[in-house]
Amino acid sequence: MTKAKAEDLDFDTLGFAYHDLPYRYHAEYHNGQWGPGELSTESNLSMSEAAVALHYGLQAFEGMKAYRRQDGGINLFRPIENAKRLQRSADRLLMEPFPVDRFVEAAKEVVKANQDFVPPYESGGALYLRPLLIDTTPNIGLHGGQDFTFVIFATPVGAYYPGGLTPTSFVTSDFDRAAHGGTGQAKVGGNYAASMLPGKKAHDAGYSDVVYLDPIHHEYIEELGSANFFGITKEGQFQTPKSPSILPSITKFSLLEIAREQGLNPIETSISINDLDQFAEAGAMGTAAVISPVGSITHHGQKHVFYSETEVAPVTQKLYDRLTAIQYGDEEGPAGWAVDVPLD
C-alpha cells in the first residue's frame, strides 16, 4: 500500500478508512521484557506462521481519537482509560500487558509524528489511533505467552455526521455477540468476528446496525455492534445497560458523568427490549460513533420509533454538544479528560 500524503487528503470528505501514515509505534516483548519501542515507518508486521494470534485469537486492541483544537493544538481524550482497558483485555487473554505510562507516551509520539494528518478543527474529523497487542509466540499447542508485539498506528477519520446528527435505524438479532463470562468486556477481535454476520444481515436489510440482546433470555439490551446504548426516559433519566458481556465504553463512562452534570440522574440498569416505550430518546455512544441518535429499533418485525427518525432529540443533542466541546478543547472538562499532545 502506498504511503498517504497529507496534501493529497480532503479532510472534509474522509470516511472511516485506513490510510498508511508515515509513522507508527512498535514495541516487542521477548525473554520476559518489553523492548524500548520506537517509531517505525514499516506498516507491515512480520511473524511466524505459527503465531498464536493468528490461530487462537490472542490479540486485543483499542480505539481512541486525537482532536485538533481551535488554537491549533491537539488533544487526546482520556488515553489512560484506553491503556487500562487494553491491560484488562490482555489479562483476560493471558497476554503480557503493555505499561500504561508507556502506552500514553507512545500515543502522544504517534500523534506528534503524524500531526499533519490530524484533521483541521473546522472539519469535525479526528486522528483515530488503533493500539494493537498480539501474541506472536510460535506454537500450535493451546498456549502462548512468550512473545508479543504492541503497535499504535493512526489514520485520519472524517466527521461522523458531516451534516449534523442524523438518527439511524437498528434491528435486534437472534445471534449473540458475547457470552456472560466470555470475553464481552474485553476489546478482542473474537467478539467482532462473532458480530460480522449479524452486522451484515442488518446492513443488507437496510439497518445501520444490530442491537444485541442478552445471551441468556434474549430480552435485555446489551449493546450495539460497535457502541453502547443509552435511553432517556420520559421522566428525563439517562439509562444505559448493565451487563457482564458488554464493552465498558469510555464514552459511556464519560457520558454518565456529563449526564450527572446535566441533572439527568444517570443509572446503569437492565433495559428490557419490551420496555422501549419508557424512553423519549435513544442513542449509541462510542469513540467512532461519538453519540448517534437511535431513530428506531425493530424487534421481531415490530418497529419502535423513539423521538424522530429524522431529527435529533434535545437531550441527545445537549449531551453531544458537551462531550464534543470537551474533546475539541472548546470547554473545560473534568480533570484528565483532555490531554494535550506536546508538538515540539
Ligand X SMILES: Cc1ncc(COP(=O)(O)O)c(C=O)c1O
Report the nearest approach of ligand X to the CB of residue 189 (Å): 11
Work out whether 247 is an interface residue with ligand X (CB under 6 A): yes
**Which cell is 82 given?**
484506553
Other beta carbons less than 10 A from residue 217's beta carbon: 10
Q: What is the CA radius of gyration of the chain?
A: 20
Residue type for 229, please?
Answer: F
Q: How far is 159 from 65, CA to CA, in rounded Å?
A: 12
Nearer CB in complex with ligand X: 97/286: 286
Work out whether 250 is an interface residue with ligand X (CB under 6 A): yes
Choice from 251, 298, 316, 327 touching ligand X (CB under 6 A)? 251
Mark the segment that binds ligand X (CB under 6 A) among 149-157, 200-208, 248-256, 316-324.
Answer: 248-256
- What is the contact mask toward ligand X in residues 14 to 53, using x (rule: CB under 6 A)? ----------------------------------------
Is 200 a catalytic site residue? no
Choice from 59, 155, 226, 298 touching ligand X (CB under 6 A)? 226
Q: How far is 272 from 114, CA to CA, in rounded Å?
A: 44
Other beta carbons less than 10 A from residue 282's beta carbon: 28
Nearer CB in complex with ligand X: 12/321: 321
Choice from 240, 249, 292, 298 touching ligand X (CB under 6 A)? 249
> CB of 278 within 8 A of CB of 231?
yes
Instruction: Say which of 187, 234, 252, 318 is annotated catalytic.
Output: 187
Q: For the chain, give the number of residues.
A: 344
The distance from CA 172 to its chain's CA centroid, rounded to whole angstroms, is 21
Work out whether 59 is an interface residue with ligand X (CB under 6 A): no
- What is the contact mask toward ligand X in residues 273 to 302, using x (rule: CB under 6 A)? -------------xx---------------
Nearer CB in complex with ligand X: 151/250: 250
Count residues contacting ligand X (CB under 6 A)?
Answer: 12
Work out whether 227 is an interface residue with ligand X (CB under 6 A): yes
Q: Which residue has the cell 449509541?
A: 284
The pairs formed by 8-11 with CB atoms below 8 angstroms and a separation of 24 or more are: 9/117, 9/156, 11/119, 11/120, 11/123, 11/125, 11/156, 11/158
Work out whether 183 is an interface residue with ligand X (CB under 6 A): no
Report the nearest approach of ligand X to the CB of residue 290 (Å): 9
> CB of 92 within 8 A of CB of 31?
no
Other beta carbons less than 10 A from residue 277's beta carbon: 9
> CB of 291 within 8 A of CB of 303?
no
Nearer CB in complex with ligand X: 84/318: 84
Report the nearest approach of ligand X to the CB of residue 249 (Å): 3
Q: Is 97 exposed, middle or buried (0-12, 13-18, 19+ CB in 10 A)?
A: buried
> CB of 293 within 8 A of CB of 231?
no
Nearest to 130 by CA among 66, 205, 190, 84: 66
Choice from 9, 43, 47, 63 touching ligand X (CB under 6 A)? 63
Report the nearest approach of ligand X to the CB of residue 226 (Å): 4
Report the nearest approach of ligand X to the CB of residue 63 (Å): 5
Nearer CB in complex with ligand X: 131/144: 131
Binding residues for ligand X (CB under 6 A): 63, 223, 226-228, 247, 249-252, 286-287
Active site residues: 187
